[in-house]
């Protein structure tokens, strides 16, 4: 009977030690999981900055609903916008190569400012297309085809109605 309290004490001590070890393991896993989640989130942000949206999307799919108080649903929505912007830029390039300047201009117009990979290039391409269209409109006027010049500029203004450069070019065509 003297051994019984000692066995009980040993069993209780073992149970306490085991519970402490389990709690410590769970706590360590929770910390590791949080650090790993944050690392993956940062990695996805790096992929986005490089324009590798597919790699970022693959990481986003495995992240919890919130990371550091950031709603991942919003981040996924932002990523979808960037993917659409990237697709619009690539479409614009293909249309430019095919010689369809008006459609290319419309595609470039869909590239969003947040798309750091393509936005500046899309703006340059749009300015180049505008220059070509204005030069063509001026040639039409010189050839006596004022109506064609106006229609050409109107087509671009349909896509970009507040563009000052195109509006000025149209005014110049109308006053010639």
Largest alpha-carbon pair distance within the chain?
119
Question: Phi/psi zone of residue 144: left (φ > 0), alpha (ψ -120 to 50 degrees), beta?
Answer: left
CA distance 31 to 18: 20
* Residues listed for the chain: 176
Task: Encode pLDDT of 69-103 as tens digits.
Answer: 678 788 889 999 999 999 999 999 999 999 999 99
Q: Cβ distance 80 to 50 under 8 Å?
A: no
Task: Encode pLDDT of 105-119 as tens digits.
Answer: 999 999 999 998 899
Q: Cβ distance 156 to 105 under 8 Å?
A: yes
Task: Encode pLDDT of 4-29 as tens digits.
Answer: 667 777 777 788 887 777 866 766 55
Global model pTM greater than 0.85:
no
Q: How confident is the model at residue 38 (pLDDT cuts 50, 70, 90)?
A: confident
């Amino acid at each position: 009977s003297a051994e019984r309290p000692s066995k009980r004490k040993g069993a209780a001590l073992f149970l306490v030690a085991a519970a402490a070890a389990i709690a410590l393991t769970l706590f360590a896993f929770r910390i590791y999981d949080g650090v790993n989640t944050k690392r993956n989130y940062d990695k996805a942000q790096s992929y986005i900055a490089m324009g590798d949206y597919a790699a970022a999307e693959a990481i986003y799919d495995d992240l919890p609903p919130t990371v550091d108080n950031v709603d991942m649903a919003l981040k996924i929505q932002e990523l979808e916008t960037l993917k659409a912007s990237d697709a619009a830029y690539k479409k614009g390039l293909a249309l430019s190569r095919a010689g369809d300047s008006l459609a290319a201009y419309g595609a470039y117009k869909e590239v969003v400012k947040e798309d750091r990979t393509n936005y500046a290039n899309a703006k340059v391409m749009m300015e180049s297309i505008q220059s070509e269209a204005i030069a063509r409109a001026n040639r039409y006027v010189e050839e006596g085809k004022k109506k064609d010049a106006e229609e050409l500029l109107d087509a671009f203004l349909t896509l970009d109605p507040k563009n000052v450069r195109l509006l000025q070019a149209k005014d110049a065509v109308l006053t010639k």
